[in-house]
Structure 1
Amino acid sequence: MADVRTQPHQLQVHPQRQHEGGVKTLLPQRGPSATQVLAVVTGIPVGGTLMILAGLTLAGSVIGLMVAFPLFVIFSPIIVPAAIAVGLAVMGFLASGAIGLTGLSSMSWVLNYLSRAKEAVPEQIDYAKRRMAGVAGYVGSKTKDVGQSIETKAHEVQIST
């Protein structure tokens, strides 16, 4: 058996990506791809425009609320009952729709159940007929057995008297 220390060993060295000073970096050494550059070039103006529009919308909403707030306070005796009436009307329409959908789905379920029951009824009738024939046969044989036992006892009573 050969000595392990005398056998040659192979050593593989894998270079690591290193930054100045020997620290491993997580970023690749090559630059961004063309797709990434195109995404940034188109994304920044579109995102900036949308942010400006969001700010303008927020400012307009705040200004409109500041202008309308005194009107809400002045007309609140009219606006609050009107809002309640409109809310109740909307809730009524929604409840009516929900009840109608529930009724339709219930009717659909009943019709499906009845159609499935019609398909199963002939099988159930055949099963009931077989059971009745079996019961009738059983009752007939029991009646015959009881009749024979009564006849036997009557014959025994006649013999003993």
Structure 2
Amino acid sequence: MAAAAEPRYQHRATAADGYNYKSQPSPSSAFQILAVVTLFPVGAVLLFLSGLTLAGTLIGLALTTPLFIVFSPILVPAALALAAAVAGILTSGAFGLMALSSVSWLLNYLRQMRRSLPEQLEQARWRVQDAAEHVGQKAREVVHETQDVIRPSA
């Protein structure tokens, strides 16, 4: 923190102080004045347009409500059928995308398996060969042990 902080508001020179300065607005207040002068008419026009839209909507609703009541036995089932058709189309599309992504995943998996299959077969061959060598070594050890056990007693 600064030890000697400057005051936030400074005294402005006036005619009573013996100075003859014309007061000029600071740049930030000029910007605020310009913003208010510019945005006030824009806000007023937008408010007027929103009021006009509200009035038009209410008038349209007042005129079409009797038509909706008269044609509701036709419109309600038609709206339900349309909603069911849209839901069916969207569901069908979602299932189709899921099927395509599943097939794509399966094909990629099989491609990776085909690439890694020779390596896996080579590893399996080495394992079988090592196991065979190990079993052969154990068999030789067992044969030598049995020969050693049989010779002294004979």
- TM-score of the two chains, using structure 1 as the length reference: 0.69
Aligned amino acid, residue 93 of structure 1: I
Aligned amino acid, residue 17 of structure 1: Y
1:59 counterpart (38, 55, 59): 55
Secondary structure class of the residue paired with 1:110: helix
1:76 counterpart (62, 69, 72): 72
In the TM superposition, what whole-angstrom CA distance separates every residue of 1:111-137 from its partner, at most 9, and x where no partner exists? 222233333223222221211111010
In the TM superposition, what whole-angstrom CA distance separates every residue of 1:45-84 from its partner, at most 9, and x where no partner exists? 3332222222211211121112211222222111111110
Distance 1:138 1:88, change over 3 A: same
Distance 1:13 1:122, change over 3 A: closer
Q: Which is worse superposed, 87-96 or 73-82?
A: 73-82
Q: Which runs of 5+ in 1 are unaligned?
A: 1-10, 20-28
Q: Which runs of 5+ in 2 are unaligned?
A: 12-24
Equivalent residues in 2 for 1:11-160, closer than 5 Å = 14-17=6-9, 30-32=26-28, 36-152=32-148, 159=154
For 2:124 and 2:6, locate their aligned partners in 1 and report how far apart those are by CA, in whole Å: 84
For 2:83 and 2:5, locate their aligned partners in 1 and report how far apart those are by CA, in whole Å: 75
Distance 1:14 1:38, change over 3 A: closer
* Root-mean-square deviation over aligned CA pairs: 3.0
Distance 1:115 1:14, change over 3 A: same
For 2:45 and 2:81, locate their aligned partners in 1 and report how far apart those are by CA, in whole Å: 41
* Percent of residue pairs identical: 47
Q: Which is worse superposed, 115-124 or 66-75?
A: 115-124
For 1:13 and 1:84, locate their aligned partners in 2 and report how far apart those are by CA, in whole Å: 71
Aligned amino acid, residue 119 of structure 2: E
Q: How many residues align?
A: 139
